[in-house]
Structure 1
Amino acid sequence: MNLVQWVSFPALGDERGSLVALEGNKSIPFDIKRVYYLFGTQPRVARGFHAHKALRQVAVCVTGKCKMLLDNGTEKAEVWLDSPTQGLIIEGMVWREMRDFSPDCVLLVLASEHYDESDYIRDYESFIKAAAE
């Protein structure tokens, strides 16, 4: 599995504007059980700093841009999220950090499961140990 996996969403529309439709188990590779978005992130503030044991996510910058750091314990990658027609698939056991948010950034996240604190790994060293198992 590649650490960086993208999914493209066709933009539908006409002279009035554009529309992107996201559907679970179609354009999103899992059933969507939770949706949230980040906005109004202050300059020089970073977010994330955790991994999930099993949760799968797709992150989409619906406006603006931000940088995403991904780390699976053996490989690291940094990518820009800057398109409302492209989503970043984040599998379980991937450490993530978001930074360099533009002032207008709205980062939408679609999740495969409901919120469950026990699925989080919030300490990087604990994550590295769990990823090596």
Structure 2
Amino acid sequence: MKIELITIRKIQDQRGNLSVLENDILPFDFKRIYYLYDVPAGAERGGHAHIAQQEFLIALSGSFDVVLNNGEEQKTICLNKPYEGLLIHEGIWRELNNFSSGSVCLVIASAVFDEEDYIRDFNEFLRFKK
């Protein structure tokens, strides 16, 4: 499956920790950054795949699960460390669920929003993968 868990350098200090994202961590130049927060209990986000876009997800606060499917296998990754991110390459279906109270999901994307890059129906995704 075209995903990678990437550890982000953590600089520890008695005043608090600091993590920095620079171009050498991601295999793309980012074009868009957005974040999800105040997700109600039991709600799900995602539910789509991208044809070309790649994304890097980080749990800045709290935790959530990312359910990934490449058309042949499914895997669930729990993100719960602000110094670890999940790189999701193109052509991977993703669903985000099980958000803890106060969680924040940061998404760094390789492209600006383009509805034509989204596959929002799982059966259509499976046809796309064949």
Under TM normalisation by the shorter chain, which class is it?
A: over 0.9
The one-letter code sitting in structure 2 at the alignment partner of 1:123 is D
| Runs of at least 5 residues in structure 2 that lack an aligned partner in the other structure | none
Aligned residue number for residue 15 of structure 2: 16
Secondary structure of the corresponding residue to residue 71 of structure 2: coil
Secondary structure of the corresponding residue to residue 116 of structure 2: helix
Aligned pairs, number? 130
Aligned-pair RMSD on alpha carbons?
A: 0.9
Give TM-score, length-normalised by structure 2.
Answer: 0.96
For residue 81 of structure 1, the aligned residue among 75, 79, 82 is 79
Q: 1-side partners of 2:101 and 2:13: how far apart?
A: 28
Q: How many Å apart are 1:27 and its aligned residue?
A: 1.5
Secondary structure of the corresponding residue to residue 17 of structure 2: strand
Identical pairs, percent: 37
Q: Deviations over 1:44-94 (max 9, x none)?
A: 001111000010011000110000100010111011000011100101110
Q: How many Å apart are 1:100 and its aligned residue?
A: 0.4
Q: 1-side partners of 2:28 and 2:49: how far apart?
A: 18
| Runs of at least 5 residues in structure 1 that lack an aligned partner in the other structure | none
Give TM-score, length-normalised by structure 1.
Answer: 0.94
CA contact (8 A) 1:4 1:77 kept: no
